[in-house]
Structure 1
Amino acid sequence: MFVIASFEQAAFFAGIFGFLWVEQPMTAKKKKKTNFTLLLKALLLSSYGKLLLIPAVIWEHDYTPLCLRLIKVFVLTSNFQAIRVTLNTNRRLSLLAVLSGLLLENIQRMEWDVGSDCAVYKSQDF
């Protein structure tokens, strides 16, 4: 489970960095060099909200799915702010970077789901 979660986090960060790398030549006229190391540190620090998953899972109750979604929104909002402050960009660019990371994370999750289903079906005899 931890391995899959770390792959999803890596896919999320790869989506953000991929979007910003593609977008950087478009804003090259501003002549500012993006410091990706500083951005990575800011994104890792802004993901501290994922620590709230631990008590949500330990003290499971009827509202656990709602708590997990609220934690996800909190982490995405923190990542949005980290990108915006670190790169000193506008809201639209930060939002597009977070959405591209979220899109790549969901694509990665779908690949894991498809791969796990195929493994189950291959082991069955029809």
Structure 2
Amino acid sequence: MKKFTCIECGRGAEELYRDFGGGNLKISHCDHCEQVVDKYVEFDPVLVLLDALLHKPQAYRHILLNSGIQFHWRLAVICLLCDAYIKWAHLKSADTTDTQHHMGFYALEWDFYIMFLLATTELAVFLGCCMLLLQFSRKALLSPSVRFSSVVRALLLSSFGKLLVIPAVIWGETNSTVYLGLTQLFVFTCNSLAMRVTLDSRQDVSCGLVALCLLVQYLTSLSLHKLLHIPT
């Protein structure tokens, strides 16, 4: 099994570049498409992020298959905090009780911690559903070279769009249905592209997989809201 992946054609590659010593490097070319295996090894991370925002598969292949980035769990915690804040803000907007909003009050606001647990449960259901679907259709969707840990990593890293909640907080748009809907749509498209790249599958297959997992997550969320008597 080859260690790297050509970002242009998706085929395996032995190396991204060759080091001749003394700071002399030569970028490797793919044996199949004859393009540069990974042009992003020379790019600034900001440019890579911009291409990821533009949904370029090459950028996703670099990030998910060639870069070796391992901070996905830390990113997941930050995204969970963003999710919890939006849920908490929605809950507070439905509460007519006038309270003083300051940092000490936020720290003692137990509802926020409940929302964090709810967001964590929803993420666990989403990932668990994806793993079950891949397990049941392992021969059709999951090649022997793809591990479940790689799929989880891809889904967590491609959920970076949830950080768009931060400007929503700054602009006071935490209750904007349009803004939050567009954010969720962006995360959906990012997750779908990440699955397409990781599984090397068709776009409709990856979109269907993510959509089904999100549906299960949504139904679970509704059930938990009713169980805990939380306004939806």
TM-score by length of 1: 0.80
Paired position in structure 2 for 1:32: 143
Structure 2 partner of 1:23: 137
How many angstroms does 1:63 deviate by? Answer: 7.5
Offset at residue 38 of structure 1 (A): 1.0
Would the aligned equivalents of 2:168 and 2:174 in 1 still touch at CA under 8 Å? no
**Distance in 2 of aligned mates of 1:96 and 1:51:** 24
Q: Name the structure with the higher helix share.
A: 1
Percent identity over the alignment is 34
Measured after TM superposition, the shift of residue 78 of structure 1 is 0.3
Distance 1:97 1:79 in 2: 10
Asked whether 1:11 is paired with 2:125, we answer: yes
Contact 1:11 1:104 in 2 (8 A): yes
1:89 has 2:201 as partner = yes
Inter-CA distance 21–84: structure 2 relative to 1 (3 Å threshold)? same
Q: Distance in 1 between matches of 2:170 and 2:227?
A: 29
Matched, 1:112 2:224: yes
Report SS of the residue matched to 2:201.
coil
Structure index of larger Rg:
2
SS in structure 2 of the partner of residue 57 of structure 1:
helix
Partner of 1:122: none
For residue 65 of structure 1, what is the amino acid of its counterpart?
T
Corresponding pairs, count:
115
AA at the equivalent of 2:158: S
Distance change >3 Å, CA 60–CA 95, structure 1 → 2: same
AA aligned to 2:166 is I
The alignment partner of 1:32 has SS state of coil
TM-score, normalised by the number of residues in structure 2:
0.45
CA contact (8 A) 2:174 2:180 kept: no
Output the aligned Cα RMSD. 2.2
What is the CA distance between 1:93 and its match in structure 2? 1.8
Q: Which runs of 5+ in 1 are unaligned?
A: 120-126
Q: Which has the higher contact order (CA 8 A, sep 6+)?
A: 1
Cα deviation code 1:82-101 (max 9, x no counterpart): 00000101122212210121
Rounded Cα–Cα distance in structure 2 between residues aligned with 1:53 and 1:47: 12
User: Which 4+ stretches in 1 moved above 6 angstroms?
Assistant: none
Query: 1:61–1:71: structure 2 CA closer, same or farther, 3 Å change rule?
Result: closer
> Is 1:55 aligned with 2:185?
no
**Counting strand residues as a fraction of each chain, which structure ranks higher?**
2
Residue 19 of structure 1 contacts residue 100 of structure 1 at CA under 8 Å; is this kept in 2?
A: no
